[in-house]
Copies of this chain bind each other. A is one copy, B any other.
Amino acid sequence: MALSTEQRVRRAAVKLFAGKGFHGTGIRDLAQAAKISTSSLYHYMGTKEDLLATIMRESLERLLLGARQATDGVTDPRERLAALVALHVLTHGSRPAETRVVDNEVNALSPAAKRGIVRLRDEYEALWSTAIDDGVACHAFRTGEPAVTRLALLEMCNGVARWYSPRGPLSLDDLAVHYAQLALRMLGGADSDCHDAVHRASAVVTAVWRTPL
């Protein structure tokens, strides 16, 4: 089925913002990629910044929704963390354009729009914080600086969107397994099988990105 014009605009914007950056993308680039005129563009968006903010907010909401679904009902901190890592890696590996926009273009937003995005991001990171803190509290994890370890983990996982290619030797699921094991090692846990967490996270990612928001 053919894409609606609105979808074409959205996808063109995500791809261009991810590839050339927000300031490096002109509205004429957007119009050309979406195959409409620059004036028609404004029928589907507010300002260029509104378009960026919408893309970022929707991506973050999907990430947050997925993280909640993937950890819902999971009590063991090790499994919660493995689920978070897997979901994050799978999302960044399968949606590299969206996630790179979220990760790299926050500073292109006006202070007002930025606040909303940062609030969403903080909400997401809080899920990681509690998983790590709970694990430390019940001696499942060993780390002297939980906050620093959380940031190290998140940045490590963010990187996936910058280099992973499905045409490489590793499937995305294998990559997620590897990353989950790395994360548990960083937190002082014994090596463990993370395939279950990855499989569940994989289903969540598929569902979350199919559903319209």
In the assembled complex, A116 has its CB within 8 A of some CB on chain B: no
Q: What is the interface of chain A mostly: helix, strand, loop, or mixed?
A: helix
Known: A104-B104, A185-B186. A159 touches B163 (CB 8 A): no
Residues of B within 8 A of A158 (CB): 155, 159
A1-54 contacts to B, CB under 8 A, are: 19-24
Residues of B within 8 A of A113 (CB): none
Residues of B within 8 A of A188 (CB): 185
Residues of B within 8 A of A108 (CB): 21, 24
In the assembled complex, A148 has its CB within 8 A of some CB on chain B: yes
Mark the stretch among A71-79, A127-135, A175-183, A198-206 that contacts chain B.
A175-183
A148 lies within 8 A of B185 (CB): no
Residue of B nearest to A18 (CB): B107
Residue of B nearest to A188 (CB): B185
In the assembled complex, A120 has its CB within 8 A of some CB on chain B: no
Closest Cβ of chain B to A68, distance in Å, is 24
Which among B162, B170, B186 is the interface contact of A186 at CB below 8 angstroms? B186
A80-121 contacts to B, CB under 8 A, are: 104, 107-108
Residues of B within 8 A of A149 (CB): 178, 182
Known: A23-B24, A185-B186, A186-B186. A170 touches B156 (CB 8 A): no
Residues in A lying within 8 Å of B, measured CB to CB: 19-24, 104, 107-108, 144-145, 148-149, 151-156, 158-160, 162-163, 170, 175, 178-179, 182, 185-186, 188
